[in-house]
């Protein structure tokens, strides 16, 4: 009888270890997959020089191809976040609701001083002597597909592009976020 009870404890320990190891592997695999998705979104924006029909179409095709379906809320940090859903027929930005991924544009401005009676500070788009420039931020959402943990863990993974010159964006983004600049 003593050996039967001891064997049961060892069996429970082995099953517990396997469950924990499987959980760790699945979470780390999905987490690294989200980082790869974020990197692909940023690279596509850099190649297309902004948030335009070409870049959003390529991003949506990529995400649909790999089966990405996580949904979340865009950050509310004062920036103008464009919400994108894979189910939208036309790849246009939305400004509210849940999204599969979110993108924002950060304009780069330069300050230059002037002399005389005019305004001492002049803001230009882009560094002085350079064309319009900006960089972009993207957020993707990580979710666990386990019934109880799905509602407990809501993780956003974000990143930024390098500086892009001569940006080519949807007109709606410039009009809504920057007053038509």
Range of the domain at 143: 2-178
- Which range is most confident: 6-15, 52-61, 74-83, 141-150? 52-61
What percent of the chain shows pLDDT beyond 90? Answer: 19
The pLDDT of residue 137: 92
pLDDT at position 169 is 81
Secondary structure of 127-148 as H, E, C letters: CCCCCCEEEEEEEEEECCCCCC
130 has pLDDT over 90: no
Q: Evaluate whether 84 touches 93 at the Cβ level (below 8 Å).
A: yes
Residue 37's pLDDT band (boundaries 50, 70, 90)?
A: very high
Average pLDDT for 34-50? 92
Neighbours of 166 (CB within 10 A): 12
For range 114-141, the mean pLDDT: 65
Contact 136, 104 (CB under 8 A): yes
Q: How confident is the model at residue 43 (pLDDT cuts 50, 70, 90)?
A: very high
- Average pLDDT of the segment spanning 31-45: 91
Nearest to 126 by CA among 112, 137, 113, 115: 112
In the three-class reduction of DSSP (H, G, I as helix; E, B as strand; rest coil), residue 93 is classed as coil
pLDDT digits (tens, 9 = 90+) for 91-103: 777 788 888 899 9
**Total number of domains constituting the chain:** 1
Asked if residue 15 has pLDDT above 60, the reply is yes
- Residues listed for the chain: 181
Phi, psi at residue 29, to the nearest 5°? Answer: -65, -45
Q: Which residues contact 144 (CB under 8 A, 6 or more apart)?
A: 27, 30, 150, 153
The predicted model scores a pTM of: 0.75
Query: Which of 70, 145, 79 has its CA nearest to residue 107?
Result: 79
| Predicted local confidence at residue 44, as pLDDT | 94
Q: Is the pLDDT score of 122 beyond 70?
A: no
pLDDT higher at 118 or 174 = 174
Three-state DSSP class for 50?
coil
């Amino acid at each position: 009888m003593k050996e039967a009870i001891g064997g049961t404890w060892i069996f429970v320990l082995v099953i517990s270890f396997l469950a924990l190891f499987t959980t760790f592997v699945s979470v780390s695999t999905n987490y690294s997959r989200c980082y790869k998705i974020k990197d692909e979104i940023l690279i596509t924006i850099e190649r297309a020089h902004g948030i335009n029909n070409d870049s959003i179409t390529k991003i949506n095709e990529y995400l649909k191809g790999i089966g990405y379906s996580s949904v979340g809320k865009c950050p509310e940090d004062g920036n103008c976040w464009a919400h994108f859903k894979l189910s939208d027929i036309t790849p246009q930005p939305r400004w509210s609701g849940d999204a599969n991924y979110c993108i924002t544009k950060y304009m780069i401005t330069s300050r230059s001083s002037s002399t005389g009676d005019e305004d001492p500070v002049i803001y230009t788009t882009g560094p002085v002597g350079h064309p319009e420039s900006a960089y972009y931020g993207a957020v993707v959402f990580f979710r666990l597909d386990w019934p109880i943990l799905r509602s407990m863990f809501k993780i956003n993974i974000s990143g930024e592009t390098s500086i892009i010159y001569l940006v080519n964006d949807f007109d709606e983004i410039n009009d809504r976020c920057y007053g038509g600049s």
